[in-house]
Amino acid sequence: MNDLDALKILVRIPQLIKPAGHLLLLSHMRAKTSLLSHLLGSHPEISGYYEMHVGYYSRRSLLKARLLFHELHLEAPVTRLYFDKILHNRHELAQRVLNSSRVRPIFMLRSPEETLSSIMRLYKGRTHDAHLGTEEGALKYYLDRIDGLRRIADDLRREDVIYIDAEVLSGDIEGVTHLLTEVLGLSMEIPTEYQVMKLSGQVGRGDSSSRILVGRVLPDSDFARDIDLSAEAVSMATQHYDSLREALLSQAAVVLSRDFF
């Protein structure tokens, strides 16, 4: 987005210049982030439900995120909270933004074996990013991203971090949404079913499988686990995952873990 495009949106929607709160979901691919994104984005106080693929370098980046959302959703109302998710190390998150009072970080992790299988299944047979359809490619992405999330966690200088085990979304979804409603200070409950929206299911915007178009939480048992992983890959990924998860559990003020739900 160039300055002229930004100005046009501000002329049309001048309320956007006013600071807003931002929910940043910090995670990795295939961690049920599209599901959580759609649940949050279906709430009338939250704008955003997909991966915007932008870096956050300063508070100006927060304004840019709002402008980018409304560039694609011109008729959407201005809300007090805006959502984005960051799943790749190439998208910068500066420490001063991470710890800004206008930002609420949410970390979410999914167990390695399910994540690696899901990545390989999604990218199998694709020409774009075909390496992710292999165990080597999926494992490299996962390890690199877990290490990137660990660096972000090390930069935290705040006491209101939220941590979520991805698995809880397929368990007690009413309990999860109720707790998040309270934690985020929303005036009405986050829905347990979600809207299928303009960019839902598009490649590059989150989950591009047909599952996200259903509009409700599906149990994990609805799809076959047909990917064989080597014991070495699972072991290596589990070590990185366990280390980061333990660190986040100790840092987070709010924990939605599979041990609780």
Three-state SS at 46: strand
Three-state SS at 108: strand
Q: Residue 222's pLDDT is what?
A: 44
Distances (CA, A) of 51 to 29, 38, 123, 230, 240: 11, 11, 18, 30, 24
Retrieve residue 157's tokens. Answer: 């200088």
| pTM higher than the cut 0.75 | yes
Determine the distance from the C-alpha atom of residue 157 to the mean position of all C-alpha atoms in its chain, rounded to a whole number: 21
Retrieve residue 260's tokens. Answer: 């609780």
Q: Residue 75's pLDDT is what?
A: 94
DSSP for residue 158 = -
CATH class of 3-256: alpha beta
Q: Average the pLDDT over 233-252 and give the result.
A: 98
Alpha-carbon distance of 36 to 33, in angstroms, equals 5
Retrieve residue 8's tokens. Answer: 């046009």
Does the structure show a pLDDT above 80 at 236? yes
- pLDDT tens string 199-221: 999 988 898 888 899 999 988 75
Three-state SS at 187: coil
